Amino acid sequence: MSFGFFNYWIFIILLMIGLYTVMSRSNLVKKMIGLSLFQISVFLFYISMGKIDGGTAPIVVETGADGMAPVYSNPLPHVLILTAIVVGIATTALGLSLVVRIRETFGTIDEDEILEMEDKD
Amino acid sequence: MLLLIAGALAVLSVRNLFVATMLLGIVSFTMALIFISLDAVDVAFTEAAVGAGISTVLYIGTLALVGSQEREKSKFAPGPLAVCLAVGAVLYYATYEMPRYGQPDNPVHTHVAPRYIEDSPTEIGVPNMVTSVLASYRGYDTFGETTVIFTAGIGVLLILRQRRRRKKEVTTEDPPLRDGKGGSISGLGSAHDLVPHVISKLLVPFIFVFALYVQFHGDYGPGGGFQAGVIFAAGIILYALVFGLDFARAVVNEKAILFLISAGVLLYGGVGVVSMLLGGNFLDYNVLSSDPVAGQHLGILLVELGVGITVTAAMLAIFYAFVGRPELLIETSTNAEQPGKERN
């Protein structure tokens, strides 16, 4: 019974870890890593929703494994997540490049140290 | 599954950012395996190439520029933890309202998906439904996402290439950081390591062939423009890592990349405009050929090609921007001393 939600629970735990990393770590690269974890967990959530028991990958085949008409898993979440992954890496790269610039300007990538510097000015 | 959680926890607790990056790659790869077991072969493909491949390279590229040690004081943060637990509890409570996992009559499966599954083989004629939904039914969406990648690539270039102008004044002989270990990743291309050289020379052509296969076979099997673009870029990045950035630049120079980024988006948009000129709607491929199914086929092929070109070029632009950054700084810091630190 409860196994029916197992994937969702994994998603929640991963999401919590990601969120906690983003909020608690002051290192900016670590924050980006946390965001990536967060992202991955959402991917898992979508793909889990698209799964149908006994289904197969959504590529047309003549007959199913047992000679019956094949059951396809839902292709729509796959499409959404596929593009989201690539867009995710592009935006992550943008974030990382900002981190690089911050490091060059402030000499550190630690959020707390940057805030201290701001206060001194 | 539990491996995922263990990996994620390790990422959280590990102090060294380099190790954390590697662990993140492992988590991504495990996730790709799980996607395969969930029937999402296209997604697994992308996740393996992007999550475990390109993003790891990018993180390492960043770490080479910013240093890989997290500050010692890693405190226990009760506030964020409480917020996280609250969010988690709410979500956990919400799962009991969710439909059961894997049932065919869940709401997700009863809205538009049956139409895609039942009609796409006859309407589009492409066996891989993910491709047909991606490029045809949701063509607008994908166009938007291609544009996002385009914009992100341009953004990274703008942020990391700001001192490009002065580069021409400085002679480019012997960059000081080119010692081949640590320090600068533009120095990674070492002349002495025989094994990586031979292996990567053997591998790179196969990677390219595989990328082209993924690109053009995406209609029939798992694959498509996004994956092919990432794999192609990974091939060039491997080459750059082993042989040095200058060699890679000789193969694909930055002007060409800038041109290709926009060419991909223009190709995508152009297909839409052509279909409008031929009397259809924007991105309506039926009019591209006398036979609607053939038109769909052609349209999807062109659009996927546009996506592939843009993704390749954007990934390479991002990679070059990260890796080329140290050189840029060295050259400029001869004029202005100490580029950091002047703010405090």
- Smallest Cα distance from B194 to chain A, Å: 31
- Mean of per-residue pLDDT scores for chain B: 73
pLDDT tens digits along B278-324:
777 776 777 666 677 777 777 778 888 888 888 888 888 888 888 77
- Smallest Cα distance from A20 to chain B, Å: 6
Residue-level pLDDT at B340: 44
For A33, the closest of B24, B104, B315 (CB atoms) is B24
β-strand partners of A56: A72
The answer to whether B339 and A104 have CB atoms below 8 angstroms apart is yes
Nearest CA in chain B to A96: B62
- Mean of per-residue pLDDT scores for chain A: 77
Closest by CA to B51, choosing from A73, A35, A102, A15, is: A35
- Top residue of B76, B81, B96, B109 to mutate, by most chain A CBs within 10 Å, is B109
Amino acid identity of B4? L
Q: DSSP assignment, residue B285? A: G
| Domain range annotation of chain A | 28-50+71-121
The answer to whether B55 and A36 have CB atoms below 8 angstroms apart is yes
For B121, the closest of A49, A60, A87 (CB atoms) is A60
* Mean pLDDT along residues B103-114: 70
C-alpha angle B103/A86/B148, rounded to 5°?
115
* Mean pLDDT along residues B37-65: 82
pLDDT reading at A3 higher than 70: no
pLDDT reading at B165 higher than 60: no
Amino acid identity of B133? V
State how far the alpha carbon of B340 is from the alpha carbons of A100, B60, B337, in Å: 11, 21, 9
* Mean pLDDT along residues B102-117: 70
Helix (H) or strand (E) holding B293: helix B292-333
Residue-level pLDDT at B191: 57
Q: DSSP assignment, residue A109? A: -
Name residues whose C-beta falls within 8 Å of residue A16's C-beta, 6 or more positions apart in sequence. B84, B85, B87, B88
Amino acid identity of B160? L
Q: Is A77 close to B108, i.e. CB distance below 8 A?
A: yes
- Smallest Cα distance from A111 to chain B, Å: 11
- Enumerate residues 45 to 74 of chain B having a beta carbon within 8 A of any beta carbon in chain A: 46-47, 50-51, 54-55, 58-59, 61-63, 65-67, 70-71, 74
Q: How far apart are CA B311 and CA A117, in angstroms?
A: 38
Q: How far apart are CA B49 and CA B35, in angstroms?
A: 13
Matching residue, tokens 């990679």: B319
* Mean pLDDT along residues B270-278: 78
Q: How far apart are CA A63 and CA B188, in angstroms?
A: 51
Q: How far apart are CA B162 and CA B38, in angstroms?
A: 44
pLDDT reading at B339 higher than 60: no
What is the number of other CB atoms lying within 10 angstroms of the CB of residue B102? 19
Name residues whose C-beta falls within 8 Å of residue B30's C-beta, 6 or more positions apart in sequence. B3, B4, B7
Residue-level pLDDT at B124: 67
